[in-house]
Every structure is written in structure tokens, then in C-alpha cells.
């Protein structure tokens, strides 16, 4: 099995979608409730032909009405709540921002009462707030606009702009999922921009690695007290977050588009003319000339006037609505260009937006590559890279030795590396170096090859809490758990209060191979469930890792679930169909197979989820039992309130998904009893087979007529 991944998709997931994801002007009849409305532009990122609708995130949103094209949100509590809108209809995860790329949002907010918090938030479905732009929580004193990263490990960043009542403020936020940073602008103008985490004009900026691996599907607008909202937008470019009034009075819609890469050196620069009225197609003929600015000197970020385009005698071209400019000299390769177009009206100049693009590289560019390979001993596997190059490319594959140093593989000089008769000695990382006439080589990301196997096993016999698999990380006890009679031999007993087990924090990378495919199995006995807390975990919170844990009692009773972070969809996991907190031994197995996860109880499938993402989000947390652990300033600590009271035995972790039939066979072999994989049709007596007894049950009801007929 191998996983092939496109680097372009990783670098900019949003490139496959339109720049404008959704725009809402709240142009509904006065007195309209917001819930159920589906106006605006976009809000159909998956192009189903149907726009999403506004709904409640929490609360009732009673009297949350629209008047004069402005939405008035009620205060939190009572009839208050949050208004949420997906940017796709149908399968919201298909249109999600999938843990990559850059996405923006914006809104015009007017606070009409003093609030401790409020703003526009990126969400993963209802209830899944990730980042909020506007008013981070501030309880007393002077308050400032800013941005907050929600959840464990998050925080706030504040601008120096004070919050005032009844003053409209334009808030624009960015989430750069490539560098894991977020920023916010307060009343931005055309001179503001976002080129990268190190090149932007944000009024407040902060690290968002606590949300690494998140998928987001929509936005929420909400405030602790009453507020008014207008011009809500979600987009994949900074420029699209501006209101139509701000944007269309300037040159707009550039080509090359802002952020475009691989631009040819003979490309013309094109833009749409400013419009005379926002929302209309009439070209603004009051513009006398357009001034074109570029950074003409490599390494100098300053823009210089390179040309002026005067209005023709017949006026600007109303038919095309655009102008195409040919630079005096061809563009250079391997350059990042910045440019803007100012609109001059008499003595007034409207400064244009600053755009940038990158010209085609003279060096080779790796477009996609195999991400990992999972193989059986003796199997033949391959890995490959896809390359773009302006001149003939060369390839050379390398294999990492025991010290991690790359060693050249003789004769492997094509884009595909094939490894025949895979052996344990082949289990390492591989790199392909690609060159061309430029004389500069580029390297692929390391491609790990994993042999399918059990990578950790804790039998707990004789009071030994170490994994018996050679090379697996050392285990440590937190607190003083007891050892008790197990399902086989001895087991470890966690009290659910202050003891647990975790693996060496210096060797956490050992379990990264489970991010792609995995199985975890264990025997468990418990009668003291603790909501959302784990039996076995590798964090599984804060958008990273995985855990097999107790589901929420209020929702599902005493059931369990398999939680996978960074996969999108049902990350918590559908709760099992059975309760295992009955004080008896139960064998639990959880498998993850490129986005399909299954949970088994006593060899029988108990729940299944198909997820939009095929990789579990990475984590620097160790594998643990009886509680979740994480790093806090370099020290491994249990997460607060995460302890689970249970007796565990025979805990195993595999780096591949065990098939459903094999899970059932393992259970049958351990217990000496048959295991029902699934209930067959016509099995009326529940013995997992269709036999004469089922026919007898069927026949006993033959010709029974439950109809009621009219009297004659």
C-alpha cells in the first residue's frame, strides 16, 4: 500500500475553489429572521447548485432579525445565540478548508452594547469553534479588537485599536494553515496586505499551532451582548474580504492572480477597470488614468512607477471591462513580483491593492510525491515523484542508513523507485533528488517505508509495564497504579483519579507511522465510566492524535468511541452500539485505514465512520493509558480531568489496519467461542446463522393478518 499526495494540494488546498467562498449582504425584507435564509453570493463551494442556509450554532436566535440590510444579533443567553453558515451545501466536509492553504474572513461589526467577547469565527460544523476574529474575551477595563485561538494551547493577540460602542468596524482575519498563524486587521485599506507570515500588515498576529490539522467548514457570528453585522465574507484572497465599495472603486481582478506561481516570463499584466457603482458593471469613466507600479529591482520590495495609461478619447473599454499591459522587458525567472494599479481622478489618486506573483522556476519543481509506503515482507512496492522542469530533469534516489545519513542507491535514476522482495532492512526513509540544466537540485520530502507489524505490546504479566516489542519506546508510570488479575495473567489497574501510563517523550516519533494506518487492541474491564476519557490514547484532543475513549453519557449512555483528529468528518467517532462498562472483560479493537475507521467490541463491529481526511494529525504527545498526556513547556503532564478508571490487559498497537474478518478470528481464537461478524438476513433467532429454527420462527407467523376491515 502506498499513499500518493499532491504537494500543490498541500501547499494551497483552496486553489481548486473560487476566490470568493461566500458573501452575505443581509439583503432580506425588513423584519426577516436570519435562520433559514440562503441569500448572498457563493456559499456553494462544492458547486451543487444549492446555497447553504443560516442556522443556529447554539441558543434560539429568537428575534434575530434583519432590518435595512443589517443583521441585529441578540445578546448571549435568553433568546440569544450564534448564527452559523456552512460554505457548502450537502457534504460540508467536501468543501472544507482541509488543514492547508490560506483562508480569510471579514465582517463589519457594530457593538450596540458592552460585550466581553464577540466576533466572526471559523468553525468545524456547529459547535466546533476554532479561531475568532473581533473581540477576544476581555472582562474588564479598556477593550481592544484582536484575534483568539480557541481550545487547549490557544490564546489571544490584541491590536492597539480600542473598542467603541455604536461605531462600525471592518474586521478582516486570516488563517494561514501552512505556517499555522492567524492575524487580524481592523479597518484595513488598500495598502494592507498578507503575503506571508513574515510579510504582512496585520494589526495583531499570533501562532495557531494549537489548531494544527483542523478542518473548517463554515463561519459563526455571535456576541455576548447585542451587535449589528454587515458584509460578511469568506474568501481565499485578502482582496476579496473588502466590501464591494472598497474593492470595485479600484482596479481589481488581477491576472496573474494574487499569489499565483509558475507565471511565464512573457505574461501580460491584466486588471479590471474600477466601476462607477458597486454591484453594477458600468466602468468608471471618471478615472483619467491608471498608474502601474512594480518592484523592478530584485531584492528591493519598493514599488516604482513603471507606466501610466491615459484614458483613450473614446473612454475606457466598456465591453471588455479590462486592460492588458505588456511590460517593457520580459520578466525574470525565479522572481517574486509585486505590483499595483492606482486610479487617478483629477487631483485625487485611489491607491490600488498590492498584488504579487512568482515567475516560473528555472530549477525543477516537485509537484507531487508518494507520501509513505506500507508493505508486507516479500512484497514489491514503488514510490515516485512528479516533476515540472523547463529543461530535461535528472533523478537520483537515496536511502537513509541507520544513522539517518542518505546513501545513494546505485542505478536508481528515474522518477520511480521500485523495491522488490521487501525485507526488514528496507524499512527506512527514501529521498529523490532532482536536477536540471539550472545546476540546482531539489529534494523530495522523505518517504518512509514501513513493514506491516505489531509495533508495541504490553502483556503486563509479572507486574511488568514495558512493551515487549523490540525497539518500542520505554514506558513510565504516573502515580502508582496497581496490578490485578487480568484476562490473561496480570493486568494494570488505573484508579481514574491520579495514575496512568505513558511512553518516553523522547521517542514519540516512533508512533508517527500510525498516522496513516493503525490498529489498537486491548482487553478492558470497568464499571466506572468517565465521559470523554481514554483507555488508550495518543493525545486525541487539541486537533492532534487519536484515542479510544468513553463517549458522553448525556448523549449515548455508557458507550465508547474511536477519536481521530485532523481527519475531518466524525472526528469524535460514532459511539459504539454496545455498553462495555458492566464490570466484565471486553476485547476492544479500533482500526484506521486511510480515512475509514472501525471500532469493534468482542470481535463484532460496533461502529464505523468514513472520513474525508486520510491522515491523523501529528502530535508530540506520547502514547498513554488511563489518561491523556501532552507537553507543557517541555514537560510531559496528564491533561486535566482526563483520567479513566479501568483495568487493561494485552494492549497492542499495529501500524496497519487489521481486516474485519481477522478481528473476528482473533477474538474466536482467544476465547474458543464463535464470533458473529454481522447479522445475516433472515436470522430471526439471533444465532448469527440462517437455519431451520429461523424457518420455524418465520412459519409461526405465516398468514397472520393484522388488517382491520370495514364492517358490512
Cα 324 to chain centroid distance, Å, stands at 38
For the ranges 80-84, 552-556, 652-656, the maximum mean pLDDT occurs at 652-656
Q: Does residue 108 lie within any of the structural domains?
A: yes
Q: How far is the CA of 490 from the CAs of 460, 534, 581, in angstroms?
A: 6, 21, 20
Q: In the chain, what percentage of residues exceed pLDDT 90?
A: 66
Q: Does residue 247 lie within any of the structural domains?
A: no
pLDDT reported for residue 1: 52
Q: Does pLDDT of 504 surpass 90?
A: yes
Lowest mean pLDDT among 63-77, 216-230, 567-581: 63-77
Farthest-apart Cα atoms in the chain, separation: 100
- Torsion angle defined by CA atoms of residues 442, 510, 153 and 534, in that order, rounded to the nearest 10 degrees: 150
519 and 587, same domain (yes or no) = yes
The string of pLDDT tens digits covering residues 282-308 is 899 999 999 999 998 888 889 999 999
Q: How far is the CA of 614 from the CAs of 177, 193, 590, 632, in angstroms?
A: 17, 34, 15, 28
Mean pLDDT, range 31-45, rounded to an integer: 90
Lowest mean pLDDT among 184-193, 373-382, 393-402, 688-697: 688-697
The string of pLDDT tens digits covering residues 562-613 is 999 988 888 999 999 888 999 999 999 999 999 999 999 999 999 999 998 8
In this structure, the number of other CB atoms found within 10 A of the CB of residue 116 comes to 15
Q: Does pLDDT of 636 surpass 60?
A: yes
CB 647 within 8 A of CB 484: yes
264 and 385, same domain (yes or no) = no
Question: What whole-number distance in Å separates Cα of residue 199 and Cα of residue 302?
Answer: 13
Residue 703: band (very low, low, confident or very high) from pLDDT cuts 50, 70, 90: confident
DSSP three-state, residue 627? coil
Query: When comparing pLDDT for 672 and 278, which is higher?
Result: 672
Q: Does residue 2 lie within any of the structural domains?
A: no
Question: In a 10 Å sphere around its CB, with 0-12 CB exposed, 13-18 middle and 19+ buried, how is residue 461 labelled?
Answer: middle
Question: In a 10 Å sphere around its CB, with 0-12 CB exposed, 13-18 middle and 19+ buried, how is residue 410 labelled?
Answer: exposed
Query: When comparing pLDDT for 296 and 3, which is higher?
Result: 296
149 and 265, same domain (yes or no) = no
For the ranges 77-81, 140-144, 496-500, the maximum mean pLDDT occurs at 496-500
Q: Does residue 589 lie within any of the structural domains?
A: yes
Q: Does pLDDT of 409 surpass 60?
A: yes
Three state DSSP letters for 649-690? EEEEEECCCCCHHHHHHHHHHHHCCCCCCCCCCCCCCCCCCC
Which of 446, 419, 442, 416 lies closest to 431 in space, CA to CA?
446
| Residue 583 DSSP one-character state | S
Which of 484, 575, 562 lies closest to 521 in space, CA to CA?
562
Global pTM exceeds 0.85: no
| Residue 331 DSSP one-character state | P
Mean pLDDT for the chain overall: 90
pLDDT reported for residue 591: 98
Question: Of 451, 469, 503, which residue is a domain's last?
Answer: 451
Domain of 190, in residue numbers: 7-242
Q: Does residue 320 lie within any of the structural domains?
A: yes
Mean pLDDT, range 16-44, rounded to an integer: 85
The string of pLDDT tens digits covering residues 447-457 is 999 999 999 99
CB 321 within 8 A of CB 343: no
Q: Does residue 462 lie within any of the structural domains?
A: yes
Q: Does residue 543 lie within any of the structural domains?
A: yes
Q: How far is the CA of 177 from the CAs of 13, 27, 216, 315, in angstroms?
A: 10, 32, 11, 44
pLDDT reported for residue 560: 95
352 and 330, same domain (yes or no) = yes
80 and 227, same domain (yes or no) = yes
C-alpha cell at 590: 479500533
pLDDT reported for residue 11: 28
pLDDT reported for residue 80: 64
Q: Does pLDDT of 441 surpass 90?
A: yes
pLDDT reported for residue 301: 82
Cα 292 to chain centroid distance, Å, stands at 38
Q: Does pLDDT of 8 surpass 70?
A: no
Lowest mean pLDDT among 412-426, 512-526, 632-646: 632-646
pLDDT reported for residue 64: 66
607 and 694, same domain (yes or no) = no
400 and 352, same domain (yes or no) = no
Question: Of 217, 242, 267, which residue is a domain's last?
Answer: 242
Question: What whole-number distance in Å separates Cα of residue 657 and Cα of residue 329?
Answer: 57
Q: What is the CATH number of the domain that holds 106?
A: 2.60.120.200
CB 131 within 8 A of CB 150: yes
C-alpha cell at 27: 439583503
Q: How far is the CA of 170 from the CAs of 161, 167, 610, 708, in angstroms?
A: 12, 10, 39, 67
pLDDT reported for residue 151: 78
Residue 6: band (very low, low, confident or very high) from pLDDT cuts 50, 70, 90: very low
Question: What whole-number distance in Å separates Cα of residue 341 and Cα of residue 232?
Answer: 26
Question: Of 412, 435, 451, which residue is a domain's last?
Answer: 451
Q: Which residues, in sequence order, are bridge partners of residue 652?
A: 457, 521
Query: When comparing pLDDT for 94 and 373, which is higher?
Result: 373
pLDDT reported for residue 4: 41
Q: What is the CATH number of the domain that holds 422?
A: 2.60.40.10
How many domains does the chain divide into? 5
| Residue 553 DSSP one-character state | H
Which of 643, 630, 634 lies closest to 152 in space, CA to CA?
630
In the chain, count of helices (H) and strands (E)?
5, 55
Question: What whole-number distance in Å separates Cα of residue 437 and Cα of residue 38?
Answer: 54
In this structure, the number of other CB atoms found within 10 A of the CB of residue 305 comes to 11
326 and 376, same domain (yes or no) = no
Lowest mean pLDDT among 203-207, 241-245, 564-568, 590-594: 241-245
How many CA atoms does the CB half-sphere of 520 hold within 13 Å? 28
pLDDT reported for residue 78: 54
Q: Does residue 15 lie within any of the structural domains?
A: yes
Which of 370, 429, 422, 374 lies closest to 402 in space, CA to CA?
429
pLDDT reported for residue 398: 98
**Residue 699: which H helix or E strand, with range?**
helix 692-699
Strands (E), 302-405: 304-310, 322-325, 336-345, 348-350, 355-359, 365-375, 381-388, 394-400
236 and 296, same domain (yes or no) = no
13 and 128, same domain (yes or no) = yes
Which of 517, 562, 564, 518 lies closest to 540 in space, CA to CA?
564
pLDDT reported for residue 7: 33
Mean pLDDT, range 114-142, rounded to an integer: 89
Residue 442: band (very low, low, confident or very high) from pLDDT cuts 50, 70, 90: very high
589 and 493, same domain (yes or no) = yes
Which of 385, 654, 358 lies closest to 518 in space, CA to CA?
654
Q: Does pLDDT of 265 surpass 90?
A: yes
Residue 678: band (very low, low, confident or very high) from pLDDT cuts 50, 70, 90: confident
Question: Checking DSSP bridges between strand 355-359 and strand 260-263, what pairing results, if any?
Answer: parallel
Question: What whole-number distance in Å separates Cα of residue 628 and Cα of residue 549?
Answer: 10
pLDDT reported for residue 77: 62
540 and 644, same domain (yes or no) = yes
Residue 110: band (very low, low, confident or very high) from pLDDT cuts 50, 70, 90: very high
Lowest mean pLDDT among 96-105, 162-171, 178-187: 96-105
pLDDT reported for residue 681: 82
Question: What whole-number distance in Å separates Cα of residue 220 and Cα of residue 223?
Answer: 10
Lowest mean pLDDT among 69-78, 381-390, 465-474: 69-78
pLDDT reported for residue 255: 94
Query: 112-115 long-range CB contacts below 8 Å, 24 or more apart?
Result: 112/72, 112/165, 112/166, 112/225, 112/226, 112/227, 112/228, 113/75, 113/165, 113/225, 113/226, 113/227, 114/165, 114/225, 115/223, 115/224, 115/225, 115/227
Mean pLDDT, range 343-366, rounded to an integer: 93
CB 233 within 8 A of CB 241: yes
At residue 235, φ and ψ (nearest 5 deg) are: -155, 170
C-alpha cell at 102: 490560506
Which of 93, 60, 88, 87 lies closest to 74 in space, CA to CA?
60
Amino acid at each position: 500500500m502506498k499513499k500518493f499526495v499532491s504537494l500543490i494540494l498541500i501547499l494551497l488546498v483552496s486553489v481548486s475553489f473560487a476566490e470568493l467562498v461566500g458573501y452575505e449582504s443581509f439583503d432580506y425584507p425588513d423584519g426577516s429572521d436570519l435562520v433559514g435564509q440562503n441569500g448572498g453570493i457563493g456559499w456553494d463551494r462544492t458547486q451543487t447548485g444549492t446555497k447553504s442556509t443560516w442556522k443556529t450554532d447554539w441558543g434560539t436566535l429568537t428575534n434575530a432579525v434583519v432590518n435595512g440590510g443589517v443583521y441585529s444579533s441578540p445578546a448571549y443567553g435568553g433568546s440569544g445565540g450564534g448564527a452559523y453558515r456552512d460554505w457548502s451545501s450537502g457534504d460540508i466536509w467536501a468543501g472544507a478548508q482541509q488543514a492547508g492553504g490560506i483562508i480569510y474572513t471579514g465582517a463589519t461589526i457594530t457593538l450596540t452594547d458592552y460585550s466581553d467577547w464577540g466576533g466572526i469565527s471559523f468553525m468545524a460544523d456547529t459547535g466546533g469553534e476554532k479561531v475568532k476574529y473581533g473581540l477576544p474575551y476581555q472582562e474588564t477595563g479598556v477593550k481592544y479588537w484582536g484575534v483568539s485561538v480557541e481550545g487547549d494551547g490557544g490564546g489571544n493577540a490584541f491590536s492597539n485599536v480600542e473598542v467603541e460602542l455604536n461605531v462600525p468596524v471592518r474586521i478582516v482575519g486570516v488563517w494561514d494553515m501552512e505556517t499555522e498563524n492567524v492575524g487580524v486587521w481592523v479597518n484595513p485599506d488598500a495598502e494592507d496586505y498578507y503575503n506571508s507570515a513574515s510579510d504582512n500588515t496585520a494589526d495583531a498576529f499570533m501562532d495557531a499551532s494549537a489548531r494544527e490539522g483542523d478542518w473548517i467548514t463554515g463561519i459563526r457570528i455571535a456576541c455576548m451582548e447585542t451587535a449589528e453585522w454587515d458584509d460578511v465574507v469568506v474568501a481565499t484572497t485578502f482582496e476579496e474580504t473588502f466590501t464591494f465599495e472598497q474593492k470595485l472603486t479600484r482596479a481589481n481582478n488581477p491576472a496573474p492572480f494574487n499569489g499565483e506561481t509558475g507565471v511565464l516570463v512573457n505574461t501580460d499584466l491584466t486588471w479590471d477597470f474600477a466601476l462607477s457603482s458597486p454591484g453594477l458593471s458600468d466602468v468608471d469613466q471618471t478615472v483619467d488614468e491608471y498608474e502601474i507600479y512594480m518592484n523592478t529591482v530584485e531584492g528591493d520590495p519598493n514599488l516604482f512607477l513603471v507606466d501610466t495609461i491615459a484614458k483613450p478619447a473614446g473612454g475606457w473599454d466598456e465591453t471588455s471591462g479590462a486592460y492588458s499591459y505588456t511590460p517593457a522587458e520580459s520578466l525574470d525567472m525565479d522572481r517574486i513580483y509585486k505590483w499595483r494599479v492606482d486610479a487617478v481622478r483629477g487631483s485625487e489618486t485611489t491607491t490600488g491593492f498590492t498584488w504579487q506573483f512568482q515567475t516560473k522556476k528555472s530549477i525543477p519543481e516537485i509537484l507531487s510525491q508518494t507520501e509513505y509506503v506500507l508493505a508486507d515482507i516479500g512484497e514489491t512496492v514503488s514510490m515516485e515523484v512528479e516533476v515540472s522542469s523547463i529543461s530535461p530533469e535528472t533523478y537520483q534516489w537515496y536511502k537513509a542508513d541507520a544513522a539517518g545519513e542518505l546513501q545513494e542507491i546505485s542505478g536508481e535514476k528515474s522518477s520511480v523507485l521500485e523495491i522488490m522482495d521487501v525485507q526488514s532492512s528496507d524499512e527506512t526513509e527514501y529521498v529523490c533528488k532532482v536536477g536540471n540544466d539550472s545546476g540546482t537540485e531539489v529534494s523530495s520530502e522523505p518517504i518512509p517505508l514501513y513493514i506491516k507489524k505489531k509495533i508495541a505490546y504490553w502483556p503486563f504479566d509479572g507486574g511488568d509495564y514495558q512493551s515487549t516489542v523490540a525497539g518500542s519506546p520505554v514506558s513510565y508510570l504516573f502515580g502508582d497504579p496497581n496490578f490485578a488479575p487480568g484476562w490473561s495473567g496480570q493486568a494494570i489497574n488505573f484508579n481514574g483519579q491520579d495514575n496512568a501510563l505513558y511512553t518516553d517523550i523522547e521517542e514519540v516519533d516512533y508512533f508517527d507511522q500510525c498516522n496513516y494506518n493503525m490498529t489498537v487492541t486491548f482487553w478492558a474491564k470497568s464499571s466506572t465510566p468517565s465521559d470523554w476519557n481514554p483507555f488508550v490514547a495518543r493525545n486525541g484532543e487539541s486537533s492532534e492524535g487519536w484515542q479510544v475513549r468513553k463517549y458522553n453519557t448525556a448523549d449515548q449512555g455508557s458507550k465508547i468511541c474511536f477519536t481521530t483528529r485532523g481527519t475531518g468528518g466524525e472526528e469524535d467517532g460514532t459511539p459504539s452500539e454496545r455498553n462495555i462498562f458492566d464490570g466484565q472483560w471486553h476485547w476492544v479493537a479500533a482500526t484506521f485505514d486511510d480515512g475509514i475507521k472501525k471500532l469493534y467490541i468482542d470481535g463484532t463491529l460496533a461502529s464505523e465512520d468514513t472520513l474525508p481526511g486520510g491522515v491523523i494529525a501529528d502530535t508530540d504527545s506520547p502514547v498513554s493509558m488511563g489518561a491523556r498526556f501532552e507537553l507543557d513547556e517541555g514537560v510531559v503532564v496528564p491533561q486535566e480531568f482526563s483520567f479513566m478508571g479501568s483495568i487493561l490487559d494485552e494492549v497492542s498497537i499495529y501500524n496497519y489496519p487489521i481486516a474485519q474478518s481477522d478481528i473476528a478470528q482473533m477474538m474466536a481464537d482467544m476465547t474458543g467461542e464463535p464470533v458473529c461478524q454481522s447479522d445475516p438476513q433472515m436470522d430471526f433467532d439471533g444465532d448469527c446463522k440462517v437455519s431451520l429454527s429461523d424457518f420455524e420462527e418465520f412459519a409461526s407467523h405465516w398468514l397472520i393478518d393484522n388488517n382491520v376491515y370495514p364492517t358490512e
